[in-house]
Structures are given as structure tokens and as C-alpha cells.
Amino acid sequence: MTEVNVTLTGTGTPVPVPGRAGPGVFVQTPDTGIQIDTGRSTVLRLAEAGLRADEIDAVLLTHHHSDHTTDLGDVLVSAWLMDAEHSVAVVTPDGLTADFARLALEPLQGDLLFRRSHRGVRRIAEPELLTFQPSSDPQEVWRRGSTRVDAVAVRHEPVLAAAGYRIATPVGNVVVSGDTRACDEVERLAAEARVLVHEVVDPQRVPDHRQHTIDYHARPDEVAALAERAGVDVLALTHLWPSPEHDGHVEDLLAAVRGGGFTGDLIVGSDLTAIRFDSHHTSITVPDRPAVGVQGRHSPATPSRAAAAPSSPVVFTTPETP
Ligand SMILES: [Zn+2]
Ligand SMILES: [Zn+2]
């Protein structure tokens, strides 16, 4: 059976907070493994999710902000240390992000040389850099078997070359917004998507000295309206800025998105949240971590954390869709 697994490898932002790695999403299809963005601690989160860095065939970078790119070298070297023999495709907007990707292994060359001679292993396979000019119209940027990746320009000005991605599979599509204010480009890309992973800013909680950040991120009500118009099945909020500090902040985000009109399954993401779907079913697995919120379209409220055993995940399975 064709099944797609979407794992949030990081839901944080540039400002470090406990429990949230840098932004990232791992999408596993029957054909391939794709990592979108490589924020801090990506490989650690993959390991915690039972995934392996050497399962990554392609890395998709959204834009050149350090929180999204900083662990690219770690991802590539870790795959090699886990005996990956293949060349990882690094798909990136042209310009600064591509320049960064091109140099990602440079600071590690001395270490790579030492390890090769020490262990007697072969050279790391050079990543295959695939660059594109983001445009408002989706363009295919990578493909493996029946899995196709399309990219679109998103609106993260003053960052000019910023992209969102759609991973299209025979059982449905996954869209990752990257960093952007709510925009038509993502809405069109997300049409009828099974899963939309979208960034969000809570303007009420942004500190005075960081008010400038509100303009290039997406408000909860705007994301809600966008996702509803697009007909999205599951909306997972990530890149939570500012990071929720307690359940009340999560409840506020859930309420703001519902108030904005989104009626599908809704997740305020935490690291390692997993969404699994095939052609008929969707299931959402939430790790037992603080400040997490999921609200199924048929459930009236966020489940009580106390209701779950301390070390067991909370699993929601949506009713079978027609
Ligand atoms: Zn960011
Ligand atoms: Zn950014």
C-alpha cells in the first residue's frame, strides 16, 4: 500500500528554545526520503523519530536564513558516516542559498580527509546541487519514481529568493510553505493537499523590538483562511514564532486558526509530530512533549496531556474519508 509519512523534524525559529529544533520536515514516500530544510539538530530529530539521515535522497532548502540551513553539512556528513553511498540532491533557489549549499562541506574537508584515511573508507559522494529561479508558477525541481517535487516563489521579502515546495505522490500531496507571509502562491500550490505544513506568527506575542518580523510571516487567521480555501485536509503549524510557552498559548493558536475559518484537522506542531496517510486514511501521532496541540475536525477540544501515559504518544486517527 502506498503510504506517505510526514515528520516535523523541527518547529522552532532562529531564537533557541528548549525542545524545538530548527525548522525541518521529513517526507517519506514509497519512492524516496526528502528533507525540507536542515535547521539545528535535524539529524538528532531524525534519529529520535526512528529515521536515518542516510534515507535522505534529496534536501530541499527554502531560503537563506540560518535557522533553515545551518545543519546542512551535518546532514550530509551524517549520511556518509552511516555508510550512505549515494549522492544527495540538494535542491535550492539560486543565489545566496545555493552559494551556502555549495560551500556546506568546505569547513569539514579536513575532518573528512582524516576520517577517510583513519577508517579507510571511500570519499563522501559530492552532493548534487540543483538550483532554480523561484517563480509564482510552480515548476518541477526534482523527481524520483512517482514522487515529484514542485517549487514556487513565496513572499518572505526582504529575502527575495524564497521557495515553498509541494511533494506530489499518487495518494496525495504534501506542501511546505517555508517562511512567508500568507500568499496566493502557497494557496495555489496547496490546492486539495492532504497536508499543509505552514509557518505562523502570533502578532500578539511578538516583542516590541521584533515587530519588524510580523510583516514577513503569516498570521494564524490568514493561514486558516488560505488553507480552507485551498481545501487542505490537515494543517500543521510550524516555525512557531514566538514559541508557545504553555498550553494557553497553544490554545490561543488553535482558537485563532478556527476563528479564521479552517475546518480540517489542525496541529500546532511540536518536534516529531508525524502525519501518515494513504489513499483512504490519515493518522496523526503526537510525541509526549510540552506545549503541543492537535484538534481533529471531529474533536471539540485539545486533548488533555494528563490523559496520556507519560511516555506514550498520543495517536489520532481520522475517520475514513470517502
Ligand atoms: Zn525561519
Ligand atoms: Zn526566514
For residue 231, give the CATH number of its domain.
3.60.15.10
Instruction: Find all residues with CB under 8 Å of 313, minimum gap 6, and list them.
Output: 285, 286, 287, 288
Residues 166, 140: Cα–Cα separation, whole Å: 9
Q: Is residue 147 part of a domain?
A: yes
C-alpha angle 286/57/223, rounded to 5°?
A: 45
Separation of CA 144 and ligand 1 centre (Å): 27
Q: Per residue in 229-285, pLDDT tens?
A: 999 999 999 999 999 999 999 999 999 999 999 999 999 999 999 999 999 999 999
Ligand having the closest approach to the CA of 156: 2
Ligand 2 centroid vs 138 CA: distance in angstroms?
20
Q: How far apart are CA 286 and CA 294, in angstroms?
A: 8
CA of 176 to the centre of ligand 1 (A): 13
pLDDT at 83: 87
Q: 212 C-alpha to center of ligand 2: Å?
A: 12
In a domain, 322, yes or no: no
Residue 179, pLDDT > 50, answer yes
Cα 12 to averaged position of ligand 1 atoms, centre (Å): 8
Q: From the CA of 24, how far away is ligand 1's center (Å)?
A: 10
Distance CA 154, CA 86 (A): 31
- Which ligand approaches the C-alpha of residue 181 most closely? 2
Interval 120-142 mean pLDDT: 93
ipTM above 0.90, yes or no: yes
pLDDT (average), residues 147-156: 98
All residues at 6 or more sequence positions from 24 whose CB lies less than 8 Å from its CB, including other chains: 8, 9, 10, 35, 36, 37, 38, 39, 42, 45, 68
If you search the block for the grid coordinates 535535524, which residue do you land on? 42
Which one, of 77, 21, 56, 168, lies nearest residue 8 by Cα?
21
Share of the chain above pLDDT 90, in %: 80
| Ligand closest to the CA atom of residue 199 | 1
Longest CA pairwise span in the chain (Å): 60
Assign 293 a pLDDT band (cuts: 50, 70, 90): low
Q: Kindly state whether residue 307 falls inside one of the protein's structural domains.
A: yes
Ligand 1 centroid to Cα of residue 45, in Å, is 18
Number of domains within the chain: 1
Helices 109-119 and 72-81 sit at what angle, rounded to 10 degrees?
A: 10
User: Ligand nearest 67 Cα, by number?
Assistant: 1
- Give the span between the Cα atoms of 186 and 64, in whole angstroms: 19
8 Å CB contact between 173 and 146: no
List the shell of residues around ion ligand 1, using CB closer than 5 Å. 65, 67, 179
Q: Which residues are catalytic?
A: 67
pLDDT of 290 above 60: no
Each residue's pLDDT tens digit, 32-80: 999 999 999 999 999 999 999 999 999 999 999 999 999 999 999 999 9
Q: Which domain holds residue 23?
A: 4-317
Is there a domain that residue 299 lies in?
yes
Is the residue at 184 inside a domain?
yes
